[in-house]
Structure 1
Amino acid sequence: MIQVIRTETEFKNLKTDWNKLYGTIDQTTPYQTWSWNFLYWKHFSAYKKLCILLFKQKGLLKGIAPLWVRDYENLKIVEPIGSRGTDYIDILICKNSKRDIFSKFIKWFETSDIDLLNIEDLPHTNLHTNKYLDILESKNLYLNQNPIYCPCYSIKLENSWEHYLESISRRIKNDIYYYRRYATKHFKKVNYRQASSSEISKHFELHQKIRTSKGDRGTYDKTSVRNFIKEYAINMENNNLLKLVFLSFDGRDVASILGVEWNKERYNITIGYDPKYSKYRPGTLLYTYDIENCIGRGITKYDLSRGSDLYKLTLGAKQKYNVRLVISRSKRNNQLYLKKQRIYWKNSDYAPTER
């Protein structure tokens, strides 16, 4: 049985059942929680219609596909809430119901009035991506699958700072200590500190400074995005999950990382630093102090989010790829949509969009 949630009130009332199902699933990230999805909908629902699918078996909730519907270039598109602004997107499905629910999901799409199904940023750990795509073979549907849609990076943290340093190259290890000494030589006080959500605007400012200096618009150029992250940060702080850290030189904040910690894993959302201090490597310095702090607190994974940046590899991160699936009844629809999206995102930072 599939139940469709179409109103915000129904979405609010789904919180308890959603979180209960979330707690039974093995591989999840903070981006599959009710809080992330509801707040994302709340702040970016303009021009979209809610379409959350609940998959039930004998009255028990076995799966949730948190979707919205939008119109784009005369196409009616269904995609997960959080698209174009979330590092890892997935459908919540109980372990023993994956194939059955994925099959029902595709059948629902096949019989709907939707033109195109766009699922981007499926994590590499996703089990429906390859294992169940044979379900599409018997359907009159066209699939565009990009197994290397977007690179993401994470570090498996060692049990001590010394072991972590042994896992990276000698040159990078030497650079870490060189720039720590370099900063302390030029500033009386170099300080790494944890902050509260009340300082989130400082993070926005630092992020925008470095992104605009590189010719990007930056994630936080829009008020709607800032308001979303502010509310999300407060929500995470109330649940002791927020991690907002700063690096300061003589009392001046020069770099910042925004993230959340979930099941002994850190998920960074954005980083920022003041390009005026680039010669002191404030971003790299903050990362190393932050990683050292995480190791000391028993964090096992340090996720550096999406995007190909060389520093992620030098810090010892492993590269994985998010997957993208575009499915429709028309090959032309797939081609048109993908072409338009490439043009839209050219020279733009990855951030939530209104349409």
Structure 2
Amino acid sequence: MLRVLEINEPEDLSHVRGNWQRLWEATKDATFFQTLEWLLIYWKHFREDKKLRVLLVLEDERLVGVVPLVVVNEPTRLGKVRVLTYPLSDWGSHFSVLAAEPRQTLYRALRHLQETPRDWDMLDFRWLDEEDLEHHLTAGAMQDAGYTAHEGIWDETTLIDFEGNWDDYLRSRSPKLRSDIRRNLRRYEKTQRINFERYRPLGKQAGDDDPRWDLFHEAMNIAELSWQGHSTTGTTISHRTIRSYIKDCHIAAAELGMLDLAILYFEHQPAGFCYNYVANGRVFGLRRGDAPEGRAHGLGTVLTAMLIRDSFTRGDKSLDMGPGSFEAKRRWMTRIAKVGRMTHYPLTVPRIQLLRLKHWWQACRDRKSGRIPNSELNRLAT
């Protein structure tokens, strides 16, 4: 018999650290953002106007699943809406429950939500990967628990799958890009004007968790010299509002063996960076940037090419380049992946039904673009 223990204070999670790691290892394609270390950092920096609801699913006394949730007060034209969702907040592309049997775990967690006072206006599972959508994992658990599940598209992300080898990948690129890559690599590598350093520590357990602050600060300096230094979105790694968050994540990722930081040097000076997280060969590109001198010499193409070539050498599985900036990423990517959502709109909250109609209209647009099938659009309208 499964039961649920709900945790609302982060310090109460310390006693499940080992079991959380065990479940992380059992979860398919788990990322840095699903570690307990990341959740505690996230809560430390972004807890304002939120409520933590971590649902621990136990079989007798054994932890078999974790469903990390937060209640977020989100502004809409209808006023603030309390949304119960995953805590990712767009820092990554995908999120899921931690469990060897995710559908069963999510079903029991949803039953727990029905048995407790509702402190949310809308249940919105965001950042679902394509496999979840194809196998109706979240949708099935919601329906089994008595929730209506409306499918939508939260975003799209661009990926490079490292299938075959570097030469195979080059042959799959456009003639122009292939020519640019070969010419620039030959031009700069032959004269030894560039140097590429990629740092990927093995982690604290392996005695290899040096954060390499020298590389970190070089990346920060490049970011400040690039367009990111003038950005007001508050999401660039050099922005003062999130700098301490990025530093805390940097330490945690190094200790977990999930840090992946690449620097390109031009004539011994930092010219570009790629700041990533990695787990089991799956790389997530958090941010990248080029110094003015790097842009002037067209080194952006060189940096990306060397990163991809190095990933083939390392045996990586994929690189998630993240959503947005599709034109810049289109020539590199091997596919676009949908980032889905499953939403429940309670009938007892009238303004949420208005929000459902807004999402239905968005789904109409997604259908026309092919991002969502007709069957799901019809279901959203009912």
Which of residues 101, 126, 131 in structure 2 aligns to 1:125?
131
What is the match of residue 253 of structure 2? Answer: 236
Deviations along 1:251-288, whole A, 9 cap, x unmatched? Answer: 22221001123212322211111255434332221111
Give the aligned CA root-mean-square deviation in angstroms. Answer: 3.1
Shift of 1:193: 1.5
What is the match of residue 176 of structure 1? Answer: 181
- 1:79 equivalent in alignment to 2:79: no
Gaps in structure 1 of 5+ consecutive residues: 341-355
Q: Tell me whether 331-340 or 17-26 shows the greater mean CA deviation.
A: 331-340
* Highest RCO, 1 vs 2 (Cα 8 Å, sep ≥ 6): 1
Contact (CA 8 Å) 2:194, 2:266: kept in 1 or not?
Answer: yes
CA distance in 2, matches of 1:165, 1:133: 39
What is the match of residue 193 of structure 1? Answer: 197
- Aligned identity (percent) is 20
What is the match of residue 347 of structure 1? Answer: none
The one-letter code matched in structure 1 to 2:8 is R
CA distance in 1, matches of 2:332, 2:325: 13
**Counterparts of residues 146-157 of structure 1 (less than 5 Å):** 146-147=152-153, 149-157=154-162
CA distance in 2, matches of 1:132, 1:232: 28
Which of residues 34, 39, 42 in structure 2 aligns to 1:40?
42
Q: 1:123 to 1:335 in 2, by over 3 A?
A: farther
Q: Could you say what secondary structure the match of 1:65 adopts?
A: strand
**What number of residue pairs does the alignment pair up?**
336
CA distance in 2, matches of 1:214, 1:179: 29
Q: 1:142 to 1:166 in 2, by over 3 A?
A: same
Shift of 1:181: 4.7
What is the match of residue 243 of structure 2? Answer: 226
TM-score, normalising length: structure 1: 0.82
- 1:88 equivalent in alignment to 2:107: no
Deviations along 1:32-51, whole A, 9 cap, x unmatched? Answer: 22222221122211222221
Gaps in structure 2 of 5+ consecutive residues: 200-210, 360-382
What is the match of residue 309 of structure 2? Answer: 292
Q: 1:181 to 1:235 in 2, by over 3 A?
A: same
CA distance in 2, matches of 1:258, 1:145: 32
What is the match of residue 256 of structure 1? Answer: 273
What is the match of residue 203 of structure 1? Answer: 219
What is the match of residue 348 of structure 1? Answer: none
Shift of 1:19: 0.4
Shift of 1:215: 8.2
Q: 1:243 to 1:155 in 2, by over 3 A?
A: same
Q: 1:282 to 1:326 in 2, by over 3 A?
A: farther
Shift of 1:246: 1.0
Q: Tell me whether 115-124 or 189-198 shows the greater mean CA deviation.
A: 189-198
What is the match of residue 352 of structure 1? Answer: none
What is the match of residue 14 of structure 1? Answer: 16
